[in-house]
Amino acid sequence: MDQVTVLAPATVANVVCGFDCLGFALEEPFDEITLRKIDKRDVRISHHDDFGLPTHPTKNVAGIALIAMLDSLNADFGFEVEITKRIKPGSGIGSSAASSCGAVFAANSLLGGRFSSNELIDFAMEGELAASGTKHADNLAPSIFGGFTLVRSAEPLDIISLEFPPLFATIIHPQIEIKTAEARAILPKDVPLRAAVRNWSNLGAFVAALAKGDYYLLSRSMEDLIIEPARKSLIPKFDELKAESLAAGALGGGISGSGPSVFMLSETIEIAQSTSSAMHSIYSTTGVDFNIYISSISPTGVRLAQ
Ligand code: HSE
């Protein structure tokens, strides 16, 4: 096999109570990435989209991740990469993770699966480091493993795949760009102990609620006293989005990754659709363009295209 095409879905990181450690994979939207093995030690990237992302491999997260993989092999070959992005960069739904995980997953398929999932995430994390200034795997882990994941430790990697009940995500993506590095720069350097205790209590409860399929506990646990208060002013109408989504029956939600997307989780597709209508009504008055996605949770994450 000299060529492979993969579909790399969007992911939601933080999930309100799990900053930098909790995430889940969506079914859609997804990027499409085709990789070919080439004889020369090189990474050649081309884009079939209008986002104007850099194609130089050291400036592109997919290229950075593939270079890390080739370095680890001391390889005498390289890759040609064609990327069709459907996840807008800077959207807060794991656009860079989709590029880097899609690329290393595709490369691993061409190499006969010689790398473990954790090794793929380690390569992809070099891309996240370049994009955001820190090594964090909360988008990468669900991209590679699918479902809900908890990153207990990023260095060394210790990732736990979590059981989860049926859930549907409604995501509004306001067409404004928030750079992850900037959204991280405004976070508090010190955290009051009371807020920290509340957040880690919520995270433990959220994981237990997923395992038990306890939707009421899941709803109570989606609370964040540390990150959301610092970032929510970056997102127009954030408080209204949240209040009206809860009124429509959503279990809870908040900022997706570092924003500007806002996600809500619902027990049924019907409630996810009502949540979408509520979000639509609020944003129609803002003058800000937006997209809304409704998706179930992807149990697989990145996968080979059929
Ligand atoms: N956990 C990250 C953040 C996700 O919120 O900054 C974005 O990469």
CB atoms under 10 Å from CB of 108, counted, come to: 22
On the question of pLDDT at 14 being above 90, the answer is yes
How far, in Å, CA of 180 to CA of 258, rounded?
Answer: 6
CB 142 near ligand 1, within 6 Å: no
- Spacing, Cα 217 to ligand 1 middle (Å): 24
Average pLDDT along the chain: 96
Determine the pLDDT at residue 234: 95
Q: Catalytic amino acids?
A: 128, 180
Q: Whose CA is nearest to atom 1 of ligand 1?
A: 20
Best residue among 15, 20, 224 to mutate for probing ligand 1's pocket (most ligand atoms within 8 Å of CB) is 20
**Bigger pLDDT: 133 vs 238:** 238
Residues 95-150 pLDDT 10s: 999 999 999 999 999 999 999 999 999 999 999 898 888 888 999 999 999 999 99
| Residue 13 Cβ < 6 Å to ligand 1 | yes
Determine the 3-state secondary structure of 33 from DSSP. Answer: strand
**What is the whole-number distance in angstroms between the Cα of residue 13 and the centre of ligand 1?**
6
Whether pTM exceeds 0.75: yes
- Percent of the chain scoring above 90 in pLDDT: 92
Choose the residue to mutate in 61, 95, 139 for probing ligand 1, maximizing ligand atoms within 8 Å of C-beta.
139
Q: What is the pLDDT of residues 191-224, one digit of tens each?
A: 999 999 999 999 999 999 999 999 999 999 999 9
Handedness of CA 239, 244, 247, 250 (dihedral sign): negative
- Tell me what pLDDT residue 131 has: 83
* Residue 183 Cα: closest atom of ligand 1: 6
Band of pLDDT at residue 1, cut at 50, 70 and 90? confident
- Of the candidates 103, 93, 4, the one whose C-alpha atom is nearest the C-alpha of residue 60 is 103
240 lines ligand 1 (CB under 6 A): no
β-pairing verdict for 78-84 and 157-162? unpaired
Q: Which pLDDT does position 261 carry in this prediction? A: 98
Has residue 295 got a pLDDT over 80?
A: yes
> 292: alpha, beta or left, given left = phi > 0 and alpha = psi -120 to 50?
beta
What's the 14 CA to ligand 1 centre distance in angstroms?
7
306 Cα–ligand 1 center, Å? 31
Ligand 1 pocket member 136 (CB < 6 A): yes
Q: How far apart are the first and last CA of the chain?
A: 15
Would you say residue 18 has pLDDT above 90? yes
